[in-house]
Structure 1
């Protein structure tokens, strides 16, 4: 990590008298820098040199959203006007500290907060619908059973090589077995099936860990590095699954608030859900990161039991019409 004095010099900041590392953040390194006047947030990217354009795209997207009136936290420019500092082969960006407070996922139960989240995402999507698609990445939703099974085997091998397996490891092995069995029996889903749903630019990672709240409103949206082009129901479904654990009443409240700002038909949502569930069944990113890359900051993302998305979706779909 770069020395704070170099950051202070690069951005012409007052003297930095304290630093701290937050507990959040699963991909990049974050450092809080305190001066006598305020606190800044330094992001140290784990991207390779070839990925610099992705940082440029992230910064452009958050800056656009901020300029349009969204509570987006945009990077602070260097005296040169650039927003990326390169030092010893690594990229850095500096941000103002977000106002408000974060709410742990298990405490996102207040109707006012859930409504605020829905309203904010609706406004975010409404504004980003005008953003040029070519300025952000367009992810592939293609999946391959053989590749998924190969990744499972690597994760299982990594677990098996541990000197001592704990109960959590055994649960993960059982989960992988459940997932493999389900995928072997499931009917393949055509991921082009939702091509008829309109695609647009999305934040890409809209969840409570990237939001701050103040007076029961979203006061800041951070971490724009997953910005992408996809159907907006994709991001909605991801939020319903990750934040609300597909809990019917909370999902209903969130989606109703979203629709008050940006209408969305149930047909678009259901069509996307069919593809989303299939792709998510192949999604082993967190398990690979934890067991193959030794990234222990993602441990909270690992679930020790596999529940097919389509099963959970069938139980809540009636709430979302």
Structure 2
């Protein structure tokens, strides 16, 4: 028998009272979230999306929701917060924080679903996000909090920690057995490419406040247009090129790890209809993003330290993406710098 779906820890009735929802007639858990927990609620007041804050404190969530409201005023599609009965956007019940947004019908498009026109639109929306977050007075004026590219020694320490954990297990499970050879192979891949580590100089190109996690699971589509940009919990100052590259390589990755390079060029063209960025900045951002992917196994923190498996699938899909990207490094960087066909 399948285990019961998780429910909000504060209980449905207190949440319904806080938001004046009436009766909750259905509650469906949405398992795709990696950090916080999400549900669809069907209620007397209509359908809503409910987020329970695990990795975000209530004050930070309130800041994110205020940013979303400002971005919406500048034409960015968002799911605006529903105020509770007392007017607050985040309620705290039994030591847990929650916020509610209207339910927006839509789908999460993946790499095979994308074409050049859809990609162009996505690029323009990212440009509008950057322009909206740059509105004077919305956020503090600050430079990007960039760190030097990870060193080879740092990567070895990260990967070695998980190899040690697997080795210490009396009976490795299926995930351990699948991950272990990939981690050892990753060490070989790093050794073969350590001469391509990006410069420790600051990243090239424009920077400012960014969404921070603009990727396929945070973009809700209706047809060929974005209906809502979700989860503004990681808004941060960063090079714009970093967000463009991260969004494109995740969105246009195919199941076997290949990246649709023509869609990259279309996304960049769409972005440039709203905001400017040059080829040097994009090539630099692509190299830095590739190196970060090569030296990171962030997914395994959730599996081995937090006993959460939602990121397991991303570990394997990132591995396929990384292998293809490494074999086609020059072609990927060229896609970010060429004109749209």
TM interval, short-chain normalised? 0.7 to 0.9
Provide the residue aligned with 1:148 in structure 2.
155
Are residue 271 (structure 1) and residue 284 (structure 2) matched?
yes
Aligned twin of 2:242:
234
Q: Give the number of equivalent residue pairs.
A: 316
State how far apart, in whole Å, the 2-side matches of 1:225 and 1:135 are. 19
Between 133-142 and 121-130, report the one with greater CA deviation: 133-142
Paired residue for 2:67, among 57, 61, 65? 61
1:172 aligns with 2:179: yes
TM-score relative to the length of structure 2: 0.83
1:189 aligns with 2:198: yes
Deviation, structure 1 residue 203: 0.9
Map 1:50-89; keep pairs closer than 5 Å: 51-89=57-95
Q: TM-score, normalised to structure 1's length?
A: 0.87
Distance 1:159 1:105, change over 3 A: farther
How far is the alpha carbon of 1:103 from its aligned partner? 3.2
Deviations 1:79-129 (A, max 9, x none): 333212122222111111124x11342432233322321221122222222
Among candidates 239, 245, 264, match of residue 251 of structure 1: 264
In 2 relative to 1, CA 308–57 (structure 1 residues): closer, same or farther, beyond 3 Å? farther
Q: Deviations over 1:128-175 (max 9, x none)?
A: 222644389964434354443232122223333262443x54442222
Structure 2 gaps of 5+ residues are: 1-8, 254-258
Distance in 2, matches of 1:74 and 1:89, equals 24
Q: Which runs of 5+ in 1 are unaligned?
A: none
CA 270–318 in structure 1, closer or farther in 2 if over 3 Å, else same: closer
Relative to structure 1, the CA distance from residue 229 to residue 308 in structure 2 (aligned partners, 3 Å threshold; closer, same or farther) is farther
Conserved in 2, the CA contact under 8 Å of 1:137 and 1:228? no
Q: Which residue of 2 aligns with 1:159?
A: 166
Task: Specify which of 30, 33, 36 is matched with residue 28 of structure 1.
Answer: 36
SS in 2 for 1:226: coil
In structure 2, the residue matched to 1:122 is: 127
CA distance in 2: counterparts of 1:268 and 1:61, whole angstroms: 26
Cα offset for 1:178?
2.7
C-alpha displacement at 1:312, in angstroms? Answer: 3.2
Per the alignment, residue 3 of structure 1 pairs with 11
1-structure distance, mates of 2:207, 2:46: 39
